Homo-oligomer: A and B are copies of this chain.
Amino acid sequence: MAEAATKILEESLGETVLIKLRGNRKLRGKLEGFDLHMNLVLENAEDISNPDETVNLGRIIVRGDNVILISPPPR
């Protein structure tokens, strides 16, 4: 993974990130961990794909293959 990407993900540990996955799924959660395949661990994750209904997912592991975008918190 790009050093730039790693640096941002490291700075985002413990912070809330937004994730867009294939298939129009959107997630939000506190970043607890990641690896070079962009596998992610989120705490207090929520599925926010449907703007009218947020679904609590708790702690989750996201497989990197499905990730399109990761949006760290504003600096």
Contacts and interface: CB of A to CB of B under 8 A. Distances in A.
B71 A41 contact: no
A1 B39 contact: yes
B68 A5 contact: no
A63 B58 contact: no
A73 to B, nearest CB: 8
A34 B71 contact: no
Contact of A1 (B35, B57, B70): B35
A61 B70 contact: yes
A62 interface: yes
Interface of A: 1-5, 7-9, 21-23, 25, 32-35, 37-41, 57-72, 74-75
